[in-house]
Structure 1
Amino acid sequence: MTLSIDADRLWSRLMALGEDGARPEGGVNRQALSAEEFAAWRRVIGWGAEAGMTPATDAAGNLFLTLAGADSDAAPVLIGSHIDSQPTGGLFDGTFGTLAALEAATVIAEAGTVPTRPIRVVAWMNEEGSRFAPGMMGSALFAGRRTEAATFAVRDADGVSVGEALAALHAAFADVPRLPLGFPVHAYVEPHIEQAEALEQAGNVIGVVTGIQGKVTFEVTVTGREQHAGTTPIGQRRDALQAFVRVAAGMQAAAMRVGEPVRFTIGRVEVTPNAPSVIPGRVVFRIDLRYPDNDTLGALAAELEAIAAREAEPCEVRTVRLVDEPSNGFDPALMAAIERAAERHDVPAQRLLSAAGHDARHIAPLAPSAMIFIPCRGGISHHPDEWAEKDHVAAGAAVLLDVVAEAAGVR
């Protein structure tokens, strides 16, 4: 049986979903468990219903759309990504993967064939971590990597907890049934834009992702003493900002000693009281550390903690690991299936490691998993200028369709 995606339908749906949370300046602001994401849920559920797919959710607020299989008890083939965005996000991050998955399932449904096992499209809750930190909450809860109690207690900048936001979601979609967390999965495939330039620079269209590099994130709190800037002698100060400067410089030097391909970022700094004539008494900052080799990542993470303890003196310091995720690899058989599909569609492909984190990280220990990348223009992502070409979107969806049809037993 020859199955073909509808490239125009997929593209029009990508553009339509960009209306939910559209920003006047361009791009989208569709953060996790927001009214904008609720609107996107309704739109996606409606599209799934047109193909005879039934919606469901779970305690984590993940959205599932199921195309029934001949064996209703068989573990489903799970495909998708996420639809939440950064506050100044683009039209493709996450959304491409979710709607490419929906398109693949829709084509199979329209063909009138019944797959051997169910096909289930997923949009994971809070992949981005922009409203609630850390990200990838929905997939982490699904995989048992986080507890409900710890996750539901997290609050956003306005004091709203994840638990409260999930209660609002479930109230808004009271007629949508619940699935258990961590139900069995036969295989998982996640399409995504690359969010880098390797494919574009090589002139390739399909990225066969070999794995995701490890990531550790910290929240560091430096506590000193607020004092008058004009009267306190330098030698008697416990200046939290000066301590932060020493800590940050020491950490940067340690990362530079490790060298490529280390990724070390201090992306958020809060100074209290942040007043011009008061010695800062408290600094809270976030660290994002990534490296492909787990031994090197672990050693460098421990070194950063030691630097914080040493260089913060005479201030006090508290370092908390928010995320501690080792590098993971993907299933060789699924990667080979992606390569075969790319060859059938005559689109150039290459293997590459994902430098960015994705929900597939959490699903890989549960079931054979893989990712399909398509080019991202200029490597720009998490920005209104984020862009993927229509023919690349179509190619990625076509490859996904072939892989899913094979995994689900479509004849």
Structure 2
Amino acid sequence: MADAGNGRLEVNGERLLARLDQFAAIGATPKGGVNRQALTVLDRQARQLLANLGRARGFSIYQDPIANLFVRREGLDPNLPPLLIGSHLDSQPSGGRFDGALGTLCAFEVLETLQDHGIETERTVEVVAFTNEEGCRFAPGCMGSMAFSQKSIPQAWQSAKATDGALFADELAQTLADLQGAAMRPLGFPISAYLEVHIEQGPSLEKEGLPIGIVTGIQGTRWLQVTISGQTAHAGTTALSYRKDPMRAAVSSLNVLYDDIMPKDPQSRLTVGRFSLEPGAINAIPASVTFSLDIRHPNSEQLELIEARIRKVLQDHAAENGCDLAVNQLFDMAPARFPDALVSVLKNAATTANFAYKSMVSGAFHDALFINRVAPSAMIFTPCRDGLSHNEAEYVKPVHCIAGAQMLLASSLILVGG
């Protein structure tokens, strides 16, 4: 429908929901989720489907050397850098049907709505499906947007191996070859801005009964690998005073950190995701304990303070137990703040469309983080049931799917002169 009696252009909600069903069938799991990992045969099928849908509407189809897929609707002035809208199509091994796909298909619905009603825009609008946002089959995640922002593919990626043993270079080459009829374009090109719709992946919007979140930035993330080394000894014959027990040091230090970091700062995050002991014998004090720490905060200075606090606590407790400590930083991603002017565009669009919203910082990183390094970027969040994501039970109500697309349409029209 073009107009719901309020003078504004409306997306075709039924079509959007049908598209979501159509893509969810590619890699569908028995529990209603999706297993469509990056650069697999199923990922290629989803890319081909999007390309076919775009050609059927008269749009141009492109890909770049990292296999980012672009669907282009021409504007009146070809000299203006295009507005880029989209997300990704790959999923986790037992992922949901909305993570990534919702943003990509909301963006495609914007193009279709403009085409349906013959809306001419000064600026070209392009939908993008970025490659390997999830990072579960090949690391790191956000390969497509990272390479786009850098205008290059890191050489180290070429020899990367997937969790199933496949070589990245081979899978990328096959993915590029399989997309029939897509013109190749250079990696990275000027854009005016980038907008991305995504499910919140948290419970706050649902809990507060809000249909829209306007994302003002993405918090920084650091991954640490901690190894505490002690001395293996017999579990039954070694008294406490003779022990150099790295497990005791790990547990006592983590107790302090769990009671300290997040309770004292609601914006901070601290997570242990991996934990291993060597030699792993039931009747031996371990020689070493290794675990990961994922720390996050939207402020760079606070992130530094959190890491410093962690290192001190770990060192103190390792020393108290006669153990050695090694802390290696595996990953460091600075926080991103989206431009105020672009965030204001989203707020104006929400007001015009009569959507209640809240401003929020994203706890997870997305393609928008990397594109924001080369062009103004911002994000629109939709609620998801119980905040579940990366889970086959992931669910977004139809009304919220449509609201996300409507918000993207209203915001895009402001930016392209429709």
State the TM-score, normalized to the length of structure 2. Answer: 0.86
Aligned to 2:401: 393
Instruction: Tell whether 2:388 aligns with 1:380.
Output: yes
Counterpart Cα distance in 2 of 1:53 and 1:225:
65
Distance 1:223 1:55, change over 3 A: farther
Give yes or no for contact 1:134–1:322 (8 Å, CA) kept in 2: no
Distance 1:16 1:273, change over 3 A: farther
Give yes or no for contact 1:216–1:290 (8 Å, CA) kept in 2: yes
Counterpart Cα distance in 2 of 1:185 and 1:365:
12
1:337-393: CA deviations, max 9, x gaps? 222322332222222222222221112232121111122122222212211111111
**Bigger Cα displacement from structure 2, 187-196 vs 350-359:** 350-359
- Aligned residue for 2:221, secondary structure, equals strand
The AA in structure 1 aligned to 2:44 is F
Instruction: Tell whether 2:210 aligns with 1:211.
Output: no
Give yes or no for contact 1:228–1:279 (8 Å, CA) kept in 2: yes
Cα offset, 1:400, TM superposition: 0.8
Counterpart Cα distance in 2 of 1:309 and 1:159:
37
The structure 2 residue matched to 1:33, chosen from 39, 42, 51, is 39
Cα offset, 1:144, TM superposition: 2.3
- Aligned residue for 2:47, secondary structure, equals helix
Aligned to 2:4: none
Instruction: Tell whether 2:40 aligns with 1:22.
Output: no
Summarize the alignment of residues 42-61 of structure 1 with structure 2, pairs less than 5 Å apart: 42-61=48-67
Counterpart Cα distance in 2 of 1:276 and 1:76:
61
Counterpart Cα distance in 2 of 1:123 and 1:86:
16
1:305-361: CA deviations, max 9, x gaps? 454556556666543333322222222232222223223322222222222222211
- Aligned residue for 2:52, secondary structure, equals helix
Cα offset, 1:247, TM superposition: 5.2
Counterpart Cα distance in 1 of 2:30 and 2:358:
37
The AA in structure 2 aligned to 1:17 is F
State the TM-score, normalized to the length of structure 1. Answer: 0.88
Summarize the alignment of residues 296-311 of structure 1 with structure 2, pairs less than 5 Å apart: 296-308=302-314, 311=317
Cα offset, 1:102, TM superposition: 0.6
Aligned to 1:360: 368
Summarize the alignment of residues 232-271 of structure 1 with structure 2, pairs less than 5 Å apart: 241=247, 244-246=250-252, 248-249=254-255, 251-256=257-262, 258-271=264-277
Distance 1:290 1:111, change over 3 A: same
Give yes or no for contact 2:47–2:179 (8 Å, CA) kept in 1: no
Instruction: Tell whether 2:349 aligns with 1:341.
Output: yes
Distance 1:4 1:50, change over 3 A: farther
Give yes or no for contact 1:188–1:363 (8 Å, CA) kept in 2: yes
Instruction: Tell whether 2:158 aligns with 1:122.
Output: no
Give yes or no for contact 2:134–2:141 (8 Å, CA) kept in 1: yes
1:143-180: CA deviations, max 9, x gaps? 22996123344433334343333233223236533332
Q: Which runs of 5+ in 2 are unaligned?
A: 1-6
Aligned to 1:4: 10
Aligned to 2:3: none
Give yes or no for contact 2:224–2:327 (8 Å, CA) kept in 1: yes
- Aligned residue for 2:310, secondary structure, equals helix
Aligned to 2:68: 62
Counterpart Cα distance in 2 of 1:173 and 1:183:
21
Distance 1:230 1:400, change over 3 A: same
Counterpart Cα distance in 2 of 1:329 and 1:173:
35
Counterpart Cα distance in 2 of 1:236 and 1:165:
54
Counterpart Cα distance in 2 of 1:353 and 1:152:
33
Distance 1:87 1:46, change over 3 A: same
Aligned to 1:141: 147
**Bigger Cα displacement from structure 2, 125-134 vs 9-18:** 125-134
Give yes or no for contact 1:78–1:120 (8 Å, CA) kept in 2: yes
**Bigger Cα displacement from structure 2, 252-261 vs 374-383:** 252-261
- Aligned residue for 2:332, secondary structure, equals strand
Distance 1:221 1:115, change over 3 A: farther
Distance 1:321 1:140, change over 3 A: farther
Cα offset, 1:229, TM superposition: 6.5
Q: Which runs of 5+ in 1 are unaligned?
A: none
**Bigger Cα displacement from structure 2, 389-398 vs 52-61:** 52-61
Instruction: Tell whether 2:301 aligns with 1:295.
Output: yes
Aligned to 1:406: 414
Instruction: Tell whether 2:338 aligns with 1:330.
Output: yes
Give yes or no for contact 1:127–1:138 (8 Å, CA) kept in 2: yes
Counterpart Cα distance in 1 of 2:398 and 2:417:
28
Instruction: Tell whether 2:90 aligns with 1:78.
Output: no
Identity of aligned residues (%): 38
Counterpart Cα distance in 2 of 1:168 and 1:220:
38
Give yes or no for contact 1:51–1:110 (8 Å, CA) kept in 2: no
Counterpart Cα distance in 2 of 1:147 and 1:312:
41
Counterpart Cα distance in 2 of 1:286 and 1:150:
23
Give yes or no for contact 2:151–2:188 (8 Å, CA) kept in 1: no
Distance 1:54 1:228, change over 3 A: farther
Aligned to 2:329: 321
